[in-house]
Amino acid sequence: MTQSTPLYRRPAFVFGPPLVMAIAGVTLLIQAAFGAGSLGVVKQKLEALAELETPAFTIRESDWIRAKLNDPNSVFVVVNKHRQINPKSFEPNDLVKVENSKTLDNSRKLVLSQEAASALQEMAKGLSAAGQGKLFLNSAYRSYDYQAELFIGKARQYGKAEALLKSARAGFSEHQTGLAADVSVPEQGCAILACFGNTPAGNWIAENSWKYGFIVRYLETTTSITGYAYEPWHLRYVGKEVARLYHSNGIQTLEEFWGLPPAPGYLAVTTESTSN
């Protein structure tokens, strides 16, 4: 198993930005997560922040936002081997088919949550404009039942230990949230392989996906934290503001971003349906 190297966190991330910048950032996050209809609540929260004596605030210190880490309807949700989707039968209510275009091939007619789908389409345009080819959507939303079948198939193909590095058990997959996409650029090869990270398109995605609200979720150096092997093709939509902070502060995992413990393996207590 690949071992993790210490993750670097800049002081600005650890101690928080100035209050004015934080308020602006939190406003964007709240609006993205809850919509314009919650502006009255937003105003109340910002007024409360303005009364704080401390000059620093970070989004991960907000109990209000952190509560959304468990909400599969939120772009802030964190799913890992310690954090099961609840309810396990969850299906996003805003799934849409990602549109085929001259820059994005969704010939498999896959679906994502609406916000993630729009962002992926914009990223495909950016990739194409940079001369890196046409993006292909290999995998997107997966239901609980589909993920269960997929994991069983991986276990039969690779053995259970290897399958645990390559695939999630049902109920523990980011794909079930509709916020995760597996992508490739077929003309450059290495589709759904680690070598995709060394292709021009893979490098472009690693350097630019944050601009569209995505992160590369499973890096080569983070297996001991995430429990998954390197997947340069696996993108997770987190929203533009979180992605910007994630990128600018040199963060490598969502666990690190939100101050959550590493989750390299499943907890001892699991349901029968997830122990396949």
Catalytic residues: 231
Whether the CB-CB separation of 179 and 237 falls below 8 Å is answered with yes
Single out the residue of 34, 62, 38 nearest to residue 48, CA to CA.
Answer: 62
The whole-angstrom separation of Cα 229 and Cα 96 is 29
Here the tokens at position 180 are 């995760």
The whole-angstrom separation of Cα 1 and Cα 64 is 36
- What one-letter code names the amino acid at 183? V
Single out the residue of 97, 13, 23, 30 nearest to residue 68, CA to CA.
Answer: 30
The whole-angstrom separation of Cα 148 and Cα 275 is 10
Quote the Cα angle for 166-66-55, to 5°. Answer: 125
Q: What is the radius of gyration, based on Cα positions, of the chain? A: 19
Single out the residue of 234, 257, 108, 117 nearest to residue 181, CA to CA.
Answer: 234
Question: Per DSSP, what are the bridge partners of residue 235?
Answer: 181, 216
Output the DSSP codes for 118-166.
HHHHHHHHHHHHTT---EEEEE----HHHHHHHHHHHHHHH-HHHHHHH
CA 231 to chain centre: 12
Report helix, strand or coil for 17: coil
